[in-house]
Amino acid sequence: MFDNLLYQNASELLSQDIRSNRLPGSILLAGPASSGKLTCALEIGRVLSCTGDEVHPKGHWLCECPSCKKNKELSNPNVLLAGPRDCFLEIAAAKKAFLQAAYDNSKSLTACRYLFLRSVRKLTNRFSQILWEDDDKVSKIAQLMQLIDEEMGKLSMDKTLPENDQLEKIVAEIVKQCEKLESTFMYDALPISQIRKAAAWAHMKSVEGKKIFIIENAERMLEAARNALLKILEEPPSDVVFILTTSNRGAVMPTILSRVRTYSFAQRTVPQENEVIERVFHADSSKNISIDSYLQTFLPITPAQVRTVAESYFNMLMKGQIPMASGIAKQCGEFKPEVLLKNFLIGIMDAAKKDPQTAGNVSLCQKVVEYARSCYSNVTTYNQSATSALENLTRDLSTLRKAYQQ
Protein backbone atom coordinates (compact mmCIF):
# COMPACT_ATOMS: atom_id res chain seq x y z
CA MET A 1 0.00 0.00 0.00
CA PHE A 2 1.00 3.62 -0.63
CA ASP A 3 4.05 2.71 -2.72
CA ASN A 4 3.60 5.99 -4.63
CA LEU A 5 3.69 8.10 -1.45
CA LEU A 6 7.33 8.81 -0.64
CA TYR A 7 8.86 9.84 2.68
CA GLN A 8 5.67 10.25 4.70
CA ASN A 9 5.13 8.31 7.93
CA ALA A 10 1.40 8.86 7.54
CA SER A 11 1.39 6.03 4.98
CA GLU A 12 2.40 3.51 7.66
CA LEU A 13 -0.30 4.69 10.07
CA LEU A 14 -2.94 4.60 7.34
CA SER A 15 -1.87 1.12 6.23
CA GLN A 16 -2.17 -0.16 9.78
CA ASP A 17 -5.60 1.41 10.26
CA ILE A 18 -6.89 0.03 6.95
CA ARG A 19 -5.58 -3.50 7.61
CA SER A 20 -7.08 -3.54 11.10
CA ASN A 21 -10.36 -2.02 9.85
CA ARG A 22 -9.88 1.01 12.14
CA LEU A 23 -9.94 3.74 9.50
CA PRO A 24 -12.68 6.20 10.50
CA GLY A 25 -15.28 7.51 8.08
CA SER A 26 -13.87 11.06 8.17
CA ILE A 27 -10.16 11.91 8.06
CA LEU A 28 -7.96 14.97 7.56
CA LEU A 29 -4.59 14.88 5.80
CA ALA A 30 -2.68 17.91 7.05
CA GLY A 31 0.74 19.15 6.00
CA PRO A 32 2.76 21.43 3.70
CA ALA A 33 1.99 21.99 0.03
CA SER A 34 3.38 19.33 -2.34
CA SER A 35 3.79 16.81 0.47
CA GLY A 36 1.65 14.13 -1.20
CA LYS A 37 -1.73 14.67 0.49
CA LEU A 38 -3.85 14.36 -2.66
CA THR A 39 -1.79 11.40 -3.85
CA CYS A 40 -2.49 9.77 -0.49
CA ALA A 41 -6.23 10.56 -0.61
CA LEU A 42 -6.56 9.02 -4.06
CA GLU A 43 -4.58 5.97 -2.98
CA ILE A 44 -6.89 5.48 0.03
CA GLY A 45 -9.77 5.39 -2.45
CA ARG A 46 -8.00 2.76 -4.55
CA VAL A 47 -7.08 0.55 -1.59
CA LEU A 48 -10.55 0.64 -0.02
CA SER A 49 -12.25 -0.36 -3.28
CA CYS A 50 -9.64 -2.95 -4.32
CA THR A 51 -10.92 -6.53 -4.64
CA GLY A 52 -7.50 -8.12 -5.18
CA ASP A 53 -6.59 -10.47 -8.01
CA GLU A 54 -5.14 -13.95 -8.46
CA VAL A 55 -1.58 -12.71 -8.06
CA HIS A 56 -1.78 -9.78 -5.64
CA PRO A 57 -3.63 -9.36 -2.32
CA LYS A 58 -6.12 -6.56 -1.69
CA GLY A 59 -4.48 -3.13 -1.76
CA HIS A 60 -1.26 -4.21 -3.51
CA TRP A 61 0.16 -1.49 -5.76
CA LEU A 62 0.41 -3.82 -8.76
CA CYS A 63 -3.13 -5.17 -8.42
CA GLU A 64 -4.95 -5.29 -11.77
CA CYS A 65 -8.50 -5.82 -10.51
CA PRO A 66 -11.14 -3.77 -12.42
CA SER A 67 -11.49 -1.31 -9.54
CA CYS A 68 -7.74 -0.66 -9.29
CA LYS A 69 -7.51 -0.08 -13.04
CA LYS A 70 -10.20 2.59 -12.81
CA ASN A 71 -8.61 4.21 -9.78
CA LYS A 72 -5.15 4.34 -11.33
CA GLU A 73 -6.62 6.27 -14.27
CA LEU A 74 -8.81 8.30 -11.85
CA SER A 75 -11.94 7.17 -13.69
CA ASN A 76 -13.78 5.48 -10.80
CA PRO A 77 -17.28 7.01 -10.45
CA ASN A 78 -17.23 6.15 -6.74
CA VAL A 79 -14.58 8.81 -6.11
CA LEU A 80 -15.73 12.43 -6.00
CA LEU A 81 -13.09 15.18 -5.95
CA ALA A 82 -13.68 18.82 -5.01
CA GLY A 83 -11.85 21.87 -3.73
CA PRO A 84 -9.72 24.63 -5.32
CA ARG A 85 -6.33 23.76 -6.76
CA ASP A 86 -3.82 25.07 -9.31
CA CYS A 87 -3.62 22.01 -11.58
CA PHE A 88 -2.01 23.47 -14.67
CA LEU A 89 1.65 23.36 -13.58
CA GLU A 90 1.43 19.66 -12.76
CA ILE A 91 -0.26 19.03 -16.11
CA ALA A 92 2.54 20.90 -17.90
CA ALA A 93 5.22 18.93 -16.03
CA ALA A 94 3.42 15.65 -16.75
CA LYS A 95 3.12 16.59 -20.43
CA LYS A 96 6.88 17.09 -20.68
CA ALA A 97 7.60 13.74 -18.99
CA PHE A 98 5.05 11.86 -21.13
CA LEU A 99 6.17 13.22 -24.49
CA GLN A 100 9.85 12.76 -23.67
CA ALA A 101 9.24 9.14 -22.66
CA ALA A 102 7.29 8.58 -25.90
CA TYR A 103 10.04 10.12 -28.07
CA ASP A 104 12.68 8.00 -26.34
CA ASN A 105 10.49 4.87 -26.17
CA SER A 106 11.60 4.83 -22.54
CA LYS A 107 10.88 2.05 -20.05
CA SER A 108 9.14 4.73 -17.99
CA LEU A 109 6.54 5.36 -20.74
CA THR A 110 3.71 3.54 -18.96
CA ALA A 111 4.38 5.41 -15.72
CA CYS A 112 4.55 8.75 -17.57
CA ARG A 113 1.34 7.93 -19.41
CA TYR A 114 -0.44 7.36 -16.11
CA LEU A 115 1.15 10.56 -14.78
CA PHE A 116 -0.32 12.64 -17.59
CA LEU A 117 -3.77 11.03 -17.49
CA ARG A 118 -3.97 11.46 -13.73
CA SER A 119 -2.74 15.07 -13.80
CA VAL A 120 -5.53 15.99 -16.23
CA ARG A 121 -8.19 14.15 -14.27
CA LYS A 122 -7.15 15.86 -11.04
CA LEU A 123 -8.57 18.90 -12.79
CA THR A 124 -11.50 17.49 -14.79
CA ASN A 125 -12.88 15.38 -11.94
CA ARG A 126 -13.65 18.62 -10.08
CA PHE A 127 -16.18 19.39 -12.81
CA SER A 128 -18.30 16.29 -12.37
CA GLN A 129 -21.95 16.72 -13.30
CA ILE A 130 -22.78 15.50 -9.80
CA LEU A 131 -21.31 18.71 -8.38
CA TRP A 132 -22.20 21.16 -11.16
CA GLU A 133 -25.72 20.08 -12.07
CA ASP A 134 -28.08 23.07 -12.47
CA ASP A 135 -25.19 25.55 -12.31
CA ASP A 136 -25.54 28.33 -14.87
CA LYS A 137 -22.01 27.55 -16.14
CA VAL A 138 -22.68 23.85 -16.71
CA SER A 139 -23.27 24.03 -20.49
CA LYS A 140 -20.01 25.89 -21.12
CA ILE A 141 -18.12 23.51 -18.84
CA ALA A 142 -19.67 20.53 -20.63
CA GLN A 143 -18.34 21.77 -23.98
CA LEU A 144 -14.78 21.94 -22.69
CA MET A 145 -15.12 18.61 -20.88
CA GLN A 146 -16.33 16.91 -24.06
CA LEU A 147 -13.31 18.19 -26.00
CA ILE A 148 -10.94 16.99 -23.28
CA ASP A 149 -12.66 13.60 -22.90
CA GLU A 150 -12.56 12.95 -26.66
CA GLU A 151 -8.81 13.54 -26.79
CA MET A 152 -8.17 11.69 -23.51
CA GLY A 153 -9.98 8.66 -24.95
CA LYS A 154 -7.24 8.38 -27.58
CA LEU A 155 -4.67 7.96 -24.79
CA SER A 156 -6.57 5.34 -22.78
CA MET A 157 -4.30 2.69 -21.27
CA ASP A 158 -6.03 -0.07 -23.25
CA LYS A 159 -5.16 1.57 -26.59
CA THR A 160 -1.96 1.72 -28.62
CA LEU A 161 -0.42 5.17 -28.49
CA PRO A 162 -0.49 7.19 -31.75
CA GLU A 163 2.72 8.05 -33.57
CA ASN A 164 4.73 10.83 -31.96
CA ASP A 165 3.57 13.64 -34.28
CA GLN A 166 -0.09 12.78 -33.72
CA LEU A 167 0.51 12.19 -30.01
CA GLU A 168 2.01 15.65 -29.66
CA LYS A 169 -1.07 17.23 -31.29
CA ILE A 170 -3.44 15.29 -29.02
CA VAL A 171 -1.55 16.22 -25.86
CA ALA A 172 -1.28 19.87 -26.91
CA GLU A 173 -5.06 20.04 -27.48
CA ILE A 174 -5.75 18.48 -24.07
CA VAL A 175 -3.45 20.96 -22.33
CA LYS A 176 -4.99 23.88 -24.22
CA GLN A 177 -8.53 22.95 -23.16
CA CYS A 178 -7.42 22.23 -19.59
CA GLU A 179 -5.92 25.70 -19.37
CA LYS A 180 -9.26 27.19 -20.49
CA LEU A 181 -11.19 25.06 -18.02
CA GLU A 182 -9.03 25.99 -15.04
CA SER A 183 -8.57 29.69 -15.83
CA THR A 184 -12.28 30.23 -16.55
CA PHE A 185 -14.13 28.01 -14.11
CA MET A 186 -11.92 26.99 -11.18
CA TYR A 187 -13.25 28.55 -7.98
CA ASP A 188 -11.16 29.96 -5.14
CA ALA A 189 -13.49 28.58 -2.45
CA LEU A 190 -15.69 25.48 -2.66
CA PRO A 191 -19.32 26.61 -3.20
CA ILE A 192 -21.97 25.53 -0.69
CA SER A 193 -24.11 24.24 -3.56
CA GLN A 194 -21.47 21.61 -4.30
CA ILE A 195 -21.34 20.49 -0.67
CA ARG A 196 -25.12 19.99 -0.75
CA LYS A 197 -24.96 18.04 -4.02
CA ALA A 198 -22.13 15.91 -2.66
CA ALA A 199 -24.25 15.20 0.43
CA ALA A 200 -27.09 13.94 -1.75
CA TRP A 201 -24.62 11.77 -3.69
CA ALA A 202 -23.14 10.41 -0.45
CA HIS A 203 -26.55 9.25 0.77
CA MET A 204 -27.20 7.27 -2.42
CA LYS A 205 -26.38 3.59 -1.90
CA SER A 206 -23.17 2.45 -3.59
CA VAL A 207 -23.51 -0.41 -6.06
CA GLU A 208 -20.07 -1.75 -5.18
CA GLY A 209 -17.36 -0.82 -2.71
CA LYS A 210 -16.80 2.32 -0.68
CA LYS A 211 -17.57 5.79 -1.96
CA ILE A 212 -14.88 8.42 -1.43
CA PHE A 213 -15.47 12.16 -1.20
CA ILE A 214 -12.21 14.17 -1.27
CA ILE A 215 -12.16 17.88 -0.44
CA GLU A 216 -8.79 19.45 -1.15
CA ASN A 217 -7.72 22.66 0.62
CA ALA A 218 -10.57 22.36 3.10
CA GLU A 219 -9.40 25.48 4.96
CA ARG A 220 -10.53 27.55 1.98
CA MET A 221 -14.24 26.83 2.40
CA LEU A 222 -16.45 29.76 3.31
CA GLU A 223 -18.49 29.58 6.51
CA ALA A 224 -21.74 28.47 4.86
CA ALA A 225 -19.95 25.60 3.07
CA ARG A 226 -18.17 24.61 6.29
CA ASN A 227 -21.47 24.43 8.15
CA ALA A 228 -23.03 22.36 5.37
CA LEU A 229 -20.09 19.93 5.49
CA LEU A 230 -20.35 19.76 9.27
CA LYS A 231 -23.94 18.51 8.98
CA ILE A 232 -22.77 15.61 6.79
CA LEU A 233 -19.92 14.73 9.14
CA GLU A 234 -22.28 14.66 12.14
CA GLU A 235 -24.21 11.74 10.61
CA PRO A 236 -22.01 10.31 7.83
CA PRO A 237 -23.31 7.47 5.63
CA SER A 238 -21.67 4.17 6.57
CA ASP A 239 -20.39 3.36 3.07
CA VAL A 240 -18.70 6.73 2.44
CA VAL A 241 -15.25 7.91 3.53
CA PHE A 242 -14.72 11.67 3.70
CA ILE A 243 -11.12 12.77 3.12
CA LEU A 244 -10.19 16.40 3.70
CA THR A 245 -6.77 17.87 2.97
CA THR A 246 -5.26 21.10 4.25
CA SER A 247 -1.94 22.92 4.36
CA ASN A 248 -3.18 24.94 7.36
CA ARG A 249 -4.88 22.78 9.98
CA GLY A 250 -5.36 25.79 12.25
CA ALA A 251 -7.67 27.39 9.67
CA VAL A 252 -10.06 24.43 9.63
CA MET A 253 -13.21 24.97 11.70
CA PRO A 254 -12.75 23.44 15.21
CA THR A 255 -16.08 21.61 15.04
CA ILE A 256 -14.93 19.94 11.81
CA LEU A 257 -11.59 19.03 13.41
CA SER A 258 -13.46 17.36 16.25
CA ARG A 259 -15.14 15.00 13.77
CA VAL A 260 -12.09 13.88 11.78
CA ARG A 261 -8.94 11.94 12.57
CA THR A 262 -5.84 13.86 11.50
CA TYR A 263 -2.91 12.22 9.72
CA SER A 264 0.05 14.59 9.63
CA PHE A 265 2.40 15.06 6.69
CA ALA A 266 5.92 16.39 7.14
CA GLN A 267 7.98 18.79 5.05
CA ARG A 268 10.34 16.61 3.04
CA THR A 269 14.03 17.47 2.88
CA VAL A 270 15.35 18.92 -0.39
CA PRO A 271 17.16 15.65 -1.28
CA GLN A 272 13.92 13.76 -0.67
CA GLU A 273 12.01 16.22 -2.87
CA ASN A 274 14.68 15.80 -5.56
CA GLU A 275 14.02 12.06 -5.48
CA VAL A 276 10.28 12.70 -5.85
CA ILE A 277 10.96 14.93 -8.88
CA GLU A 278 13.12 12.21 -10.41
CA ARG A 279 10.80 9.28 -9.69
CA VAL A 280 7.46 10.99 -10.38
CA PHE A 281 8.28 13.48 -13.15
CA HIS A 282 11.33 11.59 -14.49
CA ALA A 283 13.24 14.86 -14.53
CA ASP A 284 16.84 15.74 -13.70
CA SER A 285 17.04 16.39 -9.97
CA SER A 286 20.65 17.60 -9.96
CA LYS A 287 19.52 21.24 -9.55
CA ASN A 288 18.73 20.52 -5.90
CA ILE A 289 15.36 22.32 -5.87
CA SER A 290 12.02 21.74 -4.18
CA ILE A 291 8.97 20.27 -5.91
CA ASP A 292 7.27 23.68 -5.87
CA SER A 293 10.32 25.30 -7.46
CA TYR A 294 10.43 22.61 -10.15
CA LEU A 295 6.75 23.05 -11.00
CA GLN A 296 7.21 26.81 -11.14
CA THR A 297 9.62 26.38 -14.04
CA PHE A 298 6.45 25.75 -16.08
CA LEU A 299 4.89 29.11 -15.20
CA PRO A 300 4.06 31.39 -18.15
CA ILE A 301 5.89 34.19 -16.29
CA THR A 302 8.98 33.43 -14.21
CA PRO A 303 8.95 34.11 -10.47
CA ALA A 304 11.85 36.54 -11.03
CA GLN A 305 9.79 38.57 -13.50
CA VAL A 306 6.82 38.71 -11.11
CA ARG A 307 9.01 39.87 -8.25
CA THR A 308 10.50 42.59 -10.45
CA VAL A 309 6.96 43.86 -11.10
CA ALA A 310 6.27 43.67 -7.35
CA GLU A 311 9.35 45.70 -6.48
CA SER A 312 8.45 48.36 -9.05
CA TYR A 313 4.87 48.46 -7.69
CA PHE A 314 6.09 48.91 -4.12
CA ASN A 315 8.64 51.58 -5.06
CA MET A 316 5.96 53.57 -6.88
CA LEU A 317 3.78 53.51 -3.77
CA MET A 318 6.65 54.70 -1.59
CA LYS A 319 7.08 57.66 -3.96
CA GLY A 320 3.43 58.60 -3.58
CA GLN A 321 2.36 57.22 -6.96
CA ILE A 322 -0.71 54.98 -7.31
CA PRO A 323 -0.21 52.04 -9.71
CA MET A 324 -3.26 50.72 -11.56
CA ALA A 325 -4.19 47.31 -10.12
CA SER A 326 -5.52 46.13 -13.48
CA GLY A 327 -2.23 47.01 -15.17
CA ILE A 328 -0.20 45.19 -12.54
CA ALA A 329 -2.44 42.13 -12.86
CA LYS A 330 -2.00 42.16 -16.64
CA GLN A 331 1.80 42.23 -16.30
CA CYS A 332 1.51 39.19 -14.03
CA GLY A 333 -0.74 37.15 -16.29
CA GLU A 334 -3.84 38.04 -14.24
CA PHE A 335 -2.24 35.98 -11.45
CA LYS A 336 -3.21 32.71 -13.14
CA PRO A 337 -2.17 30.28 -11.81
CA GLU A 338 -2.58 31.58 -8.29
CA VAL A 339 1.03 30.90 -7.32
CA LEU A 340 1.88 34.04 -9.32
CA LEU A 341 0.00 36.10 -6.73
CA LYS A 342 1.98 34.45 -3.95
CA ASN A 343 5.25 35.26 -5.74
CA PHE A 344 4.09 38.86 -6.25
CA LEU A 345 3.30 39.34 -2.55
CA ILE A 346 6.62 37.81 -1.53
CA GLY A 347 8.24 40.31 -3.90
CA ILE A 348 6.48 43.17 -2.10
CA MET A 349 7.69 41.96 1.29
CA ASP A 350 11.25 41.61 -0.03
CA ALA A 351 11.05 45.12 -1.51
CA ALA A 352 9.99 46.52 1.87
CA LYS A 353 13.14 45.11 3.45
CA LYS A 354 15.33 46.86 0.85
CA ASP A 355 13.55 50.20 0.50
CA PRO A 356 15.33 53.08 2.32
CA GLN A 357 12.05 54.32 3.80
CA THR A 358 11.08 50.98 5.29
CA ALA A 359 14.19 48.83 5.68
CA GLY A 360 15.03 50.15 9.14
CA ASN A 361 11.45 50.48 10.30
CA VAL A 362 10.45 47.14 11.83
CA SER A 363 6.90 48.25 12.58
CA LEU A 364 6.34 49.40 8.99
CA CYS A 365 7.74 46.18 7.55
CA GLN A 366 5.45 44.17 9.82
CA LYS A 367 2.47 46.12 8.51
CA VAL A 368 3.51 45.42 4.92
CA VAL A 369 3.65 41.70 5.72
CA GLU A 370 0.26 41.88 7.43
CA TYR A 371 -1.36 43.60 4.44
CA ALA A 372 0.25 41.20 1.96
CA ARG A 373 -1.05 38.20 3.90
CA SER A 374 -4.50 39.77 4.09
CA CYS A 375 -4.47 40.27 0.31
CA TYR A 376 -3.65 36.59 -0.24
CA SER A 377 -6.34 35.52 2.24
CA ASN A 378 -8.93 37.71 0.52
CA VAL A 379 -8.32 35.78 -2.70
CA THR A 380 -7.80 32.24 -1.38
CA THR A 381 -10.30 32.25 1.50
CA TYR A 382 -12.90 34.87 0.67
CA ASN A 383 -13.06 34.32 -3.10
CA GLN A 384 -12.21 37.94 -3.98
CA SER A 385 -10.74 38.54 -7.44
CA ALA A 386 -7.00 39.13 -7.53
CA THR A 387 -7.45 42.58 -9.08
CA SER A 388 -9.93 43.67 -6.39
CA ALA A 389 -7.66 42.35 -3.64
CA LEU A 390 -4.74 44.24 -5.20
CA GLU A 391 -6.80 47.44 -5.25
CA ASN A 392 -7.39 47.03 -1.50
CA LEU A 393 -3.70 46.35 -0.94
CA THR A 394 -2.76 49.48 -2.92
CA ARG A 395 -5.08 51.57 -0.76
CA ASP A 396 -3.73 50.04 2.48
CA LEU A 397 -0.08 50.52 1.53
CA SER A 398 -0.68 54.06 0.31
CA THR A 399 -2.42 54.94 3.59
CA LEU A 400 0.40 53.28 5.51
CA ARG A 401 3.05 55.34 3.73
CA LYS A 402 1.23 58.60 4.54
CA ALA A 403 0.82 57.62 8.21
CA TYR A 404 4.52 56.89 8.66
CA GLN A 405 5.60 60.09 6.93
CA GLN A 406 3.67 62.29 9.38
Query: Across the 406 residues of the chain, what is the mean pLDDT of every consecutive 10-residue run?
Result: 89 94 95 95 94 81 89 93 94 97 95 96 96 92 96 94 96 96 88 94 84 94 92 90 95 94 95 93 83 91 93 91 93 88 93 73 85 88 85 92 71
Given this model, what pLDDT does residue 209 score?
76
* Predicted local distance difference test score (pLDDT) of residue 207: 74
* pLDDT of the residue at 3: 84
CATH 1.20.1050.10 fits 10-293, yes or no: no
User: 264-281 b/e with 16+ CB inside 10 Å = b?
Assistant: ebeebeeebbbebbeebb
pLDDT number for residue 358 = 65
The model's pTM = 0.87
Q: Looking at the chain, how many residues does it have?
A: 406
CA distance readout (Å), 268 to 215, 292, 379, 389: 23, 12, 27, 32
Q: Which residues pair with 26 in a beta bridge?
A: 242
Q: How far apart are CA 64 and CA 212, in angstroms?
A: 20
pLDDT of residue 197: 95
Enumerate the domain spans of the chain: 10-293, 300-405
What's the CA gap between 266 and 35, in Å, rounded?
A: 7
pLDDT recorded at residue 236: 86
pLDDT of residue 348: 94
215/50 Cα distance (integer angstroms): 21
Query: What is the per-residue pLDDT for 79?
Result: 95
Q: What is the pLDDT of residue 406?
A: 58
